[in-house]
A and B are shown apart, each in its own frame.
Chain A
């Protein structure tokens, strides 16, 4: 079997200084060649690994024959955001992990192929020409992130009149404020995908915080929505609660990334300021930590990732870790901050770390990090970014009577229908599960669309 077609990327030395996309993606010939590696298994496993059940073998078969129109229409049957998924899904633990070719060699590059065809379709104006029969029912979607967009798309295709309410000034949720430009271009990709959703008739109203600007009750009673989907996403950033954590120069990854991605703070012509130290410590090992570290690096800082477990346990996508290393991010694994040290003006000047070792496995089977007594040491730095995860946003449950949450603040819901404790209100994505991935949120949005459809058809 031929090797996987290598995808072209920006040189690490060059890209470490710019915000252009790292990966160039396949061209037509490369895509067709890679597609030809697919064995077309009788019982394809790849699809089982996909949270949205993408028609993988079908679109790859069309690609192999360079029938691009056919390929994109296969994708549109199950995904509304292929250009995004092709870029940010953890394929190595999903579709590609199940690919038979992966047993002996490298699996088919399903993510890169999805990205190619989505980009091709956008560049050549191949649209999702589905015929929509309006059914006269109204659904409100709270949040325009991946959960909300995918839920809105599926409902619109089923004939619903859908309005998305977005709290920020730009649609896209984490795709816009969280994931950096060099991984997911905002204008070319995110905006374009949002436009595709609008072309299905979905309305997007920005600057509306449901629970504050308008209540769920008024959406139902005054604005006459028949059902509501909550996709309000992740909320409060977590901190370590160690001494010195409120010093100047300590940021949550959410703040740092929002200033860079949503507010474009790194550009002179935008007003929002962004701080970048000369030496930056990013605490955490997930995708958000990688994004924050690589953003700080691009803004000129020497950047370290501090992670309490070993490299094997890093929860980030493999490709992101690989890219981060190539670009020159330094990994200080098996270390954990115990204190942040500031100068007399309260500006960060160092972090006190303690060395860790791996102990017994925890309930998830990951080996628990244990402090090595007396191993503390200081590392100089002038900025610290905490990328420790988030807890669900409390705003909506707090302001909505009867909407029940669990101890962590996740909105309680039925696993099958996604229905919440209030009839006619459904939930999906980080608001329901706590911080997860774009594709899981999309999967949840699709599931909720079916739940809402069944609910309204049987009403």
Chain B
């Protein structure tokens, strides 16, 4: 049993949980993930670790409510317990273990899309604490779904916030900002604020000439990563992505997380979750993610409406 120390609503259907887990907090590294199972009947949900505190013995995750299990999860409160939390799983980011000089030479850019802000955060925090300079593009559909802006603005980096609906920051999507940064067309005049609010102490774009990056880390939905990779490929920036595949055990046993990287079959849990984004066939990944769509929709209906229509009656063919 693992206690929820803190629960915070970050945005609509996006929730942060800080969980007590000594062993996991001690071992976790940026880039790794964990699996949480809320109770006896819950699914094993893989989630990238958003933060960890070795001294307090806690790990932090951000969860989006998408189906029956996450809906039940979001009904849980501070002081409640998750039945099972296991990790860290997968490999740490390749950036871990490099020296400050090596990291500075890489000219690193993080591209975080939507919920991707959570898995990017521990890597950015790690570099910030080392005193490495780097840039972050933090994108979201709208200002209402933008998360962790404050946390990123407290890091020692250049932060470029953007929204797809132009409700805040630069005009999204993230690829738009990336192109503007690289061709030098980004300008403060294009930055939309709310009630004059600009992120505290942030020098948004004054220092910007044409940016050059030697290494990008793009994390978000498969669609966001697909387009980020298309753009970075055009710009000649090597790009790492973190894959959030289907998964059951997370320890290399089930093979549900398999994907092609170039022409090699890889298991996300053992070989990943980070891969060379330019070698991923995102269209195949997107089709594979939809594999349980029917079952998941039924489960959600069942949770919302009880035993009404959830397949097997034969009337609707569902």
Contacts and interface: CB of A to CB of B under 8 A. Distances in A.
Given A213-B88, A239-B265, A246-B284, A271 B252 contact: no
A237 interface: yes
On chain B, which size bracket covers the interface? 35 or more
Interface string A272-304: 111100000000000000000000000000000
Interface stretch (B47-55, B110-118, B151-159, B294-302): B294-302
21 contacts: A168-B251, A169-B37, A213-B23, A213-B24, A235-B252, A235-B253, A237-B253, A239-B265, A248-B288, A248-B290, A248-B291, A254-B254, A254-B255, A271-B299, A272-B43, A273-B299, A274-B295, A275-B291, A393-B252, A395-B251, A395-B270
B258 A263 contact: no
Contact of B89 (A209, A270, A346): A209
A15 to B, nearest CB: 20
Interface string B2-42: 00000000000000000000011001000000000100011
B206 interface: no
B200 interface: no
Contacts of A258: 248-249, 253-254
Contacts of B278: none
A275 B254 contact: no
B302 A268 contact: yes
Contacts of B256: 251-252, 255
Interface in A290-349: 345-346
Interface of B: 23-24, 27, 37, 41-44, 68-69, 72, 83-89, 248-249, 251-256, 258-260, 265, 267, 270, 284, 287-288, 290-292, 295-296, 299, 302, 307, 310
A223 B104 CA distance: 38
B276 to A, nearest CB: 18
B interface, over-half SS: mixed
Given A239-B258, A252-B256, 17 more contacts: A167-B251, A169-B86, A207-B85, A213-B27, A214-B27, A234-B253, A237-B255, A239-B265, A246-B288, A248-B287, A249-B291, A254-B254, A268-B310, A271-B299, A272-B248, A273-B299, A275-B292
Contacts of A213: 23-24, 27, 86-88
B124 to A, nearest CB: 23
B147 to A, nearest CB: 25
Interface in A240-272: 241, 246, 248-249, 251-252, 254-255, 258-259, 263-264, 268-272
Contacts of A208: 23, 86
Interface in A345-381: 345-346
Contacts of A271: 41-43, 68-69, 72, 299
A331 to B, nearest CB: 24
Contacts of A272: 43-44, 248
A236 B252 contact: yes
B260 A246 contact: yes
Contacts of B23: 208, 213-214
A167 B86 contact: yes
B2 to A, nearest CB: 8
Interface residues of A, number: 42
A386 B267 CA distance: 16
A239 B255 contact: yes
Contacts of B288: 246, 248, 346
B292 A346 contact: no
Which 4 A-B pairs have CB atoms at the shortest separation, nearest pair first? A273-B295, A255-B254, A252-B255, A169-B84
B295 A169 contact: no
A100 B268 CA distance: 52
Contacts, number: 120
A246 B266 CA distance: 11
For A209, A212, A275, the residue with the greatest tally of chain B CB atoms inside 10 Å of its CB is A212
A185 B253 CA distance: 22
Contacts of B259: 246
A248 B296 CA distance: 15
Contacts of A255: 248, 254-256
A419 B1 CA distance: 35
A437 interface: no
Interface of A: 167-169, 177, 206-209, 212-214, 234-237, 239, 241, 246, 248-249, 251-252, 254-255, 258-259, 263-264, 268-275, 345-346, 390, 393-395
A207 B284 CA distance: 32
Contacts of B287: 248, 345-346
A393 B269 CA distance: 12
A269 B43 CA distance: 11
A113 B41 CA distance: 35
Nearest to B86: A207
Contacts of B42: 271
A60 to B, nearest CB: 38
A303 B96 CA distance: 48
A358 B169 CA distance: 69
Contacts of B270: 236, 394-395
Contact of A209 (B72, B86, B284): B86
A127 to B, nearest CB: 27
A207 B84 contact: yes
Contacts of A237: 253-255
A275 B267 contact: no
A212 B89 contact: yes
Contacts of A235: 251-253
Contacts of B85: 207
A345 B290 CA distance: 10
B68 to A, nearest CB: 6
Contact of A263 (B44, B255, B260, B265): B44
B21 to A, nearest CB: 9
A394 B267 CA distance: 12
B239 to A, nearest CB: 22
B310 to A, nearest CB: 8
Contacts of A207: 84-86
Nearest to A272: B43
A169 B254 contact: no
A354 B267 CA distance: 28
Nearest to B23: A213
